[in-house]
Structure 1
Amino acid sequence: MDKIDRHILEVLQKEGRLSTAELAERIGLSPSPCARRLKRLEDEFYIEGYQANVNKAKVGITMSFFVEVSLSNHQEESIIAFEKALSEMDEVINGHVVSGSYDYLLEVVSPDLNGYEEFTRKLHKLTSVKDIHTHLSVRQVIHKTTLPTFM
C-alpha cells in the first residue's frame, strides 16, 4: 500500500458513492489505473464493502445502550455459542471482547425501553451469561465513519 492507495481509501471513506472517474480525478490518476488500484484494494480486503450511514432517529431507533456482559463459562464451545447468539440479535450493532472486570462490551440500540427490556430477556436466557450491566447513552458526542489518517 502506497501513498496513492491511502489517498484512495481516505477519499472513499468520506465519499463512498464516487464513480471511478470522479475518484480518479480527485486523486490525480487516469480512470484505468485508478480502477485497477480500487479493484486490488477490494480484492485484498482493504475495502470490506460499501454502505450507507443511516440516521437512527429517522428510522425509529431512539435509544442506545452499552452493555457489559460477564460469562459464567469460558469454555470454547460456550464462547462460540454466545457469540453466534449475539450475531443473530438485531439490537446488537457492535460487540467487543474486552479485558477487565467483564468479558464483552456491546452496543445495543432500541426504539424504546420496552424493546431494550425484551433484548435483556433474550440475553439472560443464554446459559453462559453470568451478569450484565447497562449504561444508557444520554447523547452521542462523536460519530466518526472514517479511520484516522495515520493508517
Structure 2
Amino acid sequence: MARNKKDSTLWAVDSKDLEILRKLQSDGRISNSALSDQVSLSETPCWRRWKKLEDEGYIEEYRTVLNRRKLGFGVVVFTQVSFASHDIELTNQFEQLMRELDWVQMCHCITGDVDYLLQLVARDVDEFSERITFLRRIPGVTSVQSHISVNEIKDNPSLPLG
C-alpha cells in the first residue's frame, strides 16, 4: 500500500498497477493507447492509473539509456571511498560534488569498512587515472580503492515486480 502524500490515505497498488509499471519500465515511450491494449484496460482508466502512479511517486522519471561504448566511454570503474572522520560538513560537500560530476554514475553511502561506493565512467585508462587523482584530492578523503570492470555481465535498472 502507498500513502497518499496529499491526504494521508492509503492507496493499494493492485495487480493492474503492477502490470502497468512493468510495461512502462520496459518501454517508457509507449503510448497510452498501446499500453491500454497491453494491460487490457480502456484508454481513460489506463491513463488515470498511469497519472496516479506518477503523482504518487511510483514513477520518478523517464529517461533514455545511451550506449556508453558507442559514445567512447570504454572504462567502467567501481570505486570505494573512505573518510578518516565523518565530519558532516566534509561528507555533505563530498555528496554534493558527487551529484554534480557527470562521470559519476552512481554514489552510495554504504556500511562496512568504506564509506562510499561509486560507479564512474572514463573514455580510457588515462582519463580514469585523472578522475581517481581528483577523488584522492577531495578534502576528507583518506582512501580510494578502485575496481575496473573487465566484462559487463548484466546492467539492468529494472525492479523485479513479479
Q: How many residue pairs were aligned?
A: 150
In structure 2, the residue matched to 1:65 is 77
Cross-structure match for 2:121: 109
- C-alpha offsets along residues 37-56 of structure 1, whole Å, 9 cap, x if unaligned? 11111111100111111111
The partner residue of 2:101 within 85, 89, 101 is 89
Q: 1:145 Cα shift?
A: 3.0
Bigger helix fraction: 1
Q: What TM-score results when the alignment is normalised by the length of structure 2? A: 0.89
SS of 2:70's equivalent in the other structure is helix
Distance 2:109 2:157 in 1: 21
> Which segments of 5 or more consecutive residues in structure 2 lack a partner in the other structure?
1-12
Runs of at least 4 residues off by over 2 Å: none
Query: Where do 5+ consecutive residues of structure 1 fail to align?
Result: none
Q: TM-score, normalised by structure 1?
A: 0.95
Cα shift at 1:73: 2.4
Aligned position for 1:55 = 67
By relative contact order (CA 8 Å, sep 6+), the higher-ranking structure is 1
Of 136, 151, 154, 1:142 maps to 154
Which amino acid in the other structure matches residue 93 of structure 2? A
Q: Give the superposition deviation at 1:85.
A: 1.1
**Residue equivalent to 2:45:** 33
Q: Which residue of structure 1 lines up, in the alignment, with residue 5 of structure 2?
A: none
- Residue 10 (1) aligns with residue 22 (2): yes
Counterpart-to-counterpart distance in 1, 2:27 and 2:157: 11
Contact 1:13 1:145 (8 Å CA) reproduced:
no
